[in-house]
Structure 1
Amino acid sequence: MAPTFVAKAYALLDANANRNVIPALEENDRYMDRVVGYYEGWSTRRPCHAFWPEQIPRGVYSHINFAFATIDPNTYKVMPSNHRDVDLYSRLTSLKSYDKDLKVMIAIGGWTFNDPGRTATVFSDIAASEAKQDKFIASLISFMSTHDFDGIDLDWEYPEADDRYGKPEDLKNFPKFMARLRNELKKTPGRSELSITLPASYWYLQHFDLKELSKHVSFFNIMSYDLHGTWDQGNKWTGAFLNAHTNLTEIKSALELLWRNDVKGDQVVMGLAFYGRSYTTQGCVEPGCVYASGGLPGPYSNKAGILLNNEIMDIIHDKKLTPKLYKEATVKVVTWDDQWVSMDDRETLAMKANFARQQCLSGLMVWAVSHDTSTADFSRDLAMVSNRQVLMQRAEIDTDTERTNHKQCRWTNCGDSCPAGWKMIKREDDWKTTNPEYMIDDTHCEGHGSRSWCCPPDTKLPKCGWYNFNEGNCKPGCEDGMVEIGSTTNGCKKEDQHQSACCSVQDDYGNGLSSMAVYNTCEWSKENPQCDDGKCSGSKSTILGQSGQGSGDVYCYAGDVWGGHWPKKQHTSRKYCCNTSSKSNRFENCEWRNDVGLHWADQSCFSGCDSNQVRVAMDGFNEGCYKSGARAYCCDAVSYTETQRMSDDMQDFKDALIDWKMAVACAKNNTSQVST
């Protein structure tokens, strides 16, 4: 990372500055709401100590940030940094299946993103242009939806800093960019988490408008590590002295910079390190002694001046070393031969966690989960000191379960376009008037545009249409192999007639369409206009909901129920009959909504659903919506498949067994050749 120039920061701090920190808590065991862990995409490609997503203990982390994705400097679209990362995305996000509170985020940027090269000014360019922001945000939302990320961690290191290709206008542009990004993320189905990293030094932090940024982000990850390193050598503010890069006395001063800008503690996550900064000494090994150079490269990290915790533990074990505690700095130091490295273990992690509690911070962050030992010892220590419970691991030892979520096609709200990357579906029926003509419906939109029928990206598309119009002599119903997704009386000659919007549920080869799987578990009762006579039977025997206008605009006779609104006599209701026995394929959490979407003055009901829900019915007559909009019946569409694959350990064992068997066979073959 970068030099911190801590001494200059100290000189600029006002010792008497007011702080927004509540007095220290008496107890040191408060549960931490946020424990954030970064996972490096390249960690599986190390020659040893490779760390896979499945090795992360469940329950320790509230957020896992995949580091890093990149941005195309020409199109401003989000892209994987390496094609091998895509498999890791799904393996990481599948951990959510076993930890319902876990959020997995995509981290974009990082230190090298602003190194000389094509991406050096990308963040500045995006922040300065709303047109470029539109491209980036649309691509980001599509990227997160495709790979099931819950939010973004933006690692811009560092705005305005001329040594990191920053521009003077970054200071004012950054908060505006974050405001637009947060606003658009709020429109997504549960992908609105937004965090940014903050430096721990005044040198770089002075270019962050913290007061404005705090209004638009979920939380800040302060990088309270790398406070010292080999870059100190020759620097007039620091110098080549042995100092721990996670020294708590300096972290305290770094946090003062936040309090002086009215940042609240509950919006700050304090950074910890699962690695150490190492040095080659000149004989003296106490803090403050002058070092000669960076430490020798580790065998797996292969970089001078840094050792991963798994490498440090190997050294401690092999050389039978005992780390020394420096209580004031709250670090451990390990020395051998002419080498020196500082680190944190369970004892110092606990001390730092208690300090974070006293400062009323919302939690801890670690760079990086993937520096841990193969048995995740440091993550387990982190769970203990943050009072978070490690969940029971998956029962199976030999296999891993992988879950694939299947998004369902759905109607947009009135006037909305399809989500980024989704496909608007063409009509396939005989009654379309143009080619192509798309599936749209303006029922109950009250002049605010129309709805579009949209299907998720990277799926086989269903065949859809408006069926049985018959030149105005409308007849309800769908063709074989289709399900009803909507209805309208528009164009029908009689008020008790309607035509149906229908979509196929299988492809041309008889394979089920994943994007229509949940719709295929339900059907509308056939009886209308005397809709109360409808019955549910067979496997689809559960009444999921019922509506006086069915799937949209079915005509139902008035019944014998009197309501509190005009018309007093409520309409009979058509039933939506479903099979809800499958946990992996069903509608659930359904509710009537009348408060979502566009509306006009004096309109009593708005007919939209939240962006993470599917609309399966509308009712513009009952419950006070008559001639003034409609209610929408909105459901969560749950659809996923699970597959079993051999665990990494078992796969490694199998591969080793095959190699051993081949080696034995080759040896026998060579022996027989020699003997002849």
Structure 2
Amino acid sequence: MRLLLLATVFAACVFPYVAAGRFVCYFPNWGIGRQEPWQFGVDNIDTKLCTHLVYAFADLDETTFKIKPNNPAVDIDQEFYRKFTGLKSQNPSLKTMLAVGGWVDSNINDKYSQLVASRENIDVFVGSVVSLLKEYGFDGLDMDWEYPKSDADKTGFINLMVALKDAFAPFNYILSAAVAPITTDLGYDIPALETTADFINLMTYDMHGGWEPDMADHHAPLRKRSFETIDYNVESSVHHWITNGLSASKINLGMPLYGRSWKLASAMTTPPAPAVGVGAPGPFTKEEGYVSYFEICQAVQNEGWQVVQDPDQFIGPYALSPTDVVNWIGYDDITMLTTKSNYVLSKGLGGAMVWEISLDDYRGACGAGMNPLLTAISRIVVA
């Protein structure tokens, strides 16, 4: 008994945190359209790393207010919905969910505000969601409205969540929501979300980006830096949600598997660095100011990009191109995501979330194995 007690005390000292247990991973239905060899489909998913996979995205029909497939040619005709939910045959404990909304669909007129403003529209939407989840075998829904903004939105969003929760109860469907990191000007009733959502996916990234074309800075800082005058970072965001009524155990901390980039205006590289606009697109993701981890690590490995680390780990690294006009990319690497994963445990959060799995080095091109970022998170948060 004495030896067992000593062993328990030793384990508590060496391993002070208990694994959070939840790891939510978004899957994009558009990755299949990429140029080879970096196409990403359902068959590329490693089912052992995440506890919850979320299919992004379904849309809201602005006329009928029903949920609908975003890309029927992929979702239905190529059977991505069925293949996705069928992944549970490889891992029976895996949960496969469907997300509705996302940045693009949320910003097509004000249809989400119209949805939640009408009880009739809510009922139509909820009924269509239940039917779709049942037809394709999903385990739940992630509401990704970016973002409710007004008092009417705040009330309507909770009415929608309550209606979904009630309709989901007979089927044991999971209900989650993806939310902004800081909600000062946004329409979230946090105590009400505490009672309606099974968990919250906190989007603690994109705190800086191309909408700030004159300044290169890291888009997912862990902590407030000395030059900053506002609290806009992972730590302050978690504090905000918890102090305003959300249980720590319901929070999944969002982590990016991509970087935000700028073209520098001078020799100054330390963030915030003067910039002249967003950086060049990645060769496969092809979006200005946005670069996947698999593109970043290959640029560093093969093209002579310089990596600068923050010794204090307040932010992840940034990479600098060896070109005349320097491209600056701030991103999270294995080291930073390990730090953030340990932060999840230290704060007693429910788990981690990533946007999104097709951006990792899933082919192992950079020598750290397949899916090195997902693996680093999973080993800490899930194990």
1:57 Cα offset (Å): 1.8
Residue-by-residue CA offset, 1:553-587 (whole Å, 9 max, x unaligned): xxxxxxxxxxxxxxxxxxxxxxxxxxxxxxxxxxx
Residue-by-residue CA offset, 1:438-470 (whole Å, 9 max, x unaligned): xxxxxxxxxxxxxxxxxxxxxxxxxxxxxxxxx
Q: Alignment partner of 2:273: what SS?
A: coil
Q: State the AA in 1 paired with 2:204.
A: S
Q: Which residue of 2 aligns with 1:198?
A: 179
Higher strand share: 1
| Contact map agreement 1:158 1:204 (CA 8 A) in 2 | no
Does residue 141 in structure 1 map to residue 130 in structure 2?
Answer: yes
Q: State the AA in 1 paired with 2:206.
A: D
Alignment equivalent of 1:254, drawn from 237, 245, 260 = 237
| Contact map agreement 1:224 1:246 (CA 8 A) in 2 | yes
1: CA distance, partners of 2:53 / 2:180: 20
Alignment of 1:34-73 (within 5 A): 34-48=22-36, 49-73=38-62
Write out the 4+ residue segments of structure 1 that deviate beyond 6 Å after TM superposition. none
Q: State the AA in 2 paired with 1:222.
A: L
2: CA distance, partners of 1:302 / 1:62: 30
Q: Which residue of 2 aligns with 1:478?
A: none
Q: Which residue of 2 aligns with 1:224?
A: 204
1: CA distance, partners of 2:201 / 2:317: 23
Q: State the AA in 2 paired with 1:214.
A: E
- TM-score, scaled to structure 2: 0.86
| Contact map agreement 1:274 1:367 (CA 8 A) in 2 | yes
Q: Alignment partner of 1:331: what SS?
A: coil
| Contact map agreement 2:193 2:246 (CA 8 A) in 1 | no
Residue-by-residue CA offset, 1:35-63 (whole Å, 9 max, x unaligned): 00000000110123111222222221111
Does residue 313 in structure 1 map to residue 297 in structure 2?
Answer: yes
1:378 Cα offset (Å): 2.3
Q: Which residue of 2 aligns with 1:371?
A: 359
Q: Which residue of 2 aligns with 1:245?
A: 219
2: CA distance, partners of 1:272 / 1:36: 10
Does residue 352 in structure 1 map to residue 340 in structure 2?
Answer: yes
Q: Which residue of 1 aligns with 2:159?
A: 176
1:331 and 1:67, CA in 2 relative to 1: closer, same or farther beyond 3 A? same
1:320 Cα offset (Å): 4.1
Residue-by-residue CA offset, 1:259-311 (whole Å, 9 max, x unaligned): 22121100100000010001111221112221221111111111111101111
Q: Which residue of 2 aligns with 1:294?
A: 278
1:65 and 1:214, CA in 2 relative to 1: closer, same or farther beyond 3 A? same
> Which runs of 5 or more structure 1 residues have no equivalent in the other structure?
1-24, 161-166, 234-239, 389-676
Residue-by-residue CA offset, 1:178-229 (whole Å, 9 max, x unaligned): 11110110122x3x20000110134444x21101121101011010000111
Q: Which residue of 2 aligns with 1:335?
A: 320
Q: Which residue of 2 aligns with 1:79?
A: 68
Does residue 105 in structure 1 map to residue 100 in structure 2?
Answer: no
| Contact map agreement 2:17 2:346 (CA 8 A) in 1 | no
Q: State the AA in 1 paired with 2:297.
A: M
Q: State the AA in 1 paired with 2:380.
A: V
Q: Which is worse superposed, 284-293 or 149-158? A: 284-293
| Contact map agreement 1:57 1:380 (CA 8 A) in 2 | no
Q: Alignment partner of 1:157: what SS?
A: coil
1: CA distance, partners of 2:185 / 2:33: 32
1: CA distance, partners of 2:207 / 2:75: 30
Give the CA RMSD over aligned residues.
1.9
Alignment of 1:441-480 (within 5 A): none
Residue-by-residue CA offset, 1:93-139 (whole Å, 9 max, x unaligned): 11111111111110000111132x4xx32222221222111211111
Q: State the AA in 2 paired with 1:193.
A: I
Does residue 382 in structure 1 map to residue 377 in structure 2?
Answer: yes
1: CA distance, partners of 2:168 / 2:279: 44
Q: Which residue of 2 aligns with 1:487?
A: none
Alignment of 1:414-563 (within 5 A): none
| Contact map agreement 2:116 2:157 (CA 8 A) in 1 | yes
1:319 and 1:29, CA in 2 relative to 1: closer, same or farther beyond 3 A? farther
2: CA distance, partners of 1:91 / 1:376: 20
Q: Alignment partner of 1:106: what SS?
A: strand
| Contact map agreement 1:278 1:295 (CA 8 A) in 2 | yes
2: CA distance, partners of 1:128 / 1:322: 51
Higher helix share: 2
1:43 and 1:204, CA in 2 relative to 1: closer, same or farther beyond 3 A? farther
Q: State the AA in 2 paired with 1:199.
A: A
| Contact map agreement 1:29 1:386 (CA 8 A) in 2 | no
- TM-score, scaled to structure 1: 0.50
Q: Alignment partner of 1:173: what SS?
A: helix
| Contact map agreement 2:54 2:142 (CA 8 A) in 1 | yes
Q: Alignment partner of 1:187: what SS?
A: helix
1:150 Cα offset (Å): 0.3
1: CA distance, partners of 2:202 / 2:300: 29
1: CA distance, partners of 2:45 / 2:170: 31
Alignment equivalent of 1:270, drawn from 253, 257, 263 = 253
**What is the identity percentage for the equivalent residue pairs of Structure 1 and Structure 2?**
27
Q: State the AA in 1 paired with 2:240.
A: L
Q: Alignment partner of 1:360: what SS?
A: coil
1: CA distance, partners of 2:126 / 2:170: 12
Residue-by-residue CA offset, 1:616-641 (whole Å, 9 max, x unaligned): xxxxxxxxxxxxxxxxxxxxxxxxxx
Q: State the AA in 2 paired with 1:349.
A: L
Q: State the AA in 1 paired with 2:235.
A: K
| Contact map agreement 1:40 1:68 (CA 8 A) in 2 | yes
Q: Alignment partner of 2:170: what SS?
A: coil
Q: State the AA in 2 paired with 1:377.
A: P
2: CA distance, partners of 1:341 / 1:302: 15
Q: Alignment partner of 1:179: what SS?
A: helix
1:322 Cα offset (Å): 5.2
1: CA distance, partners of 2:380 / 2:40: 22
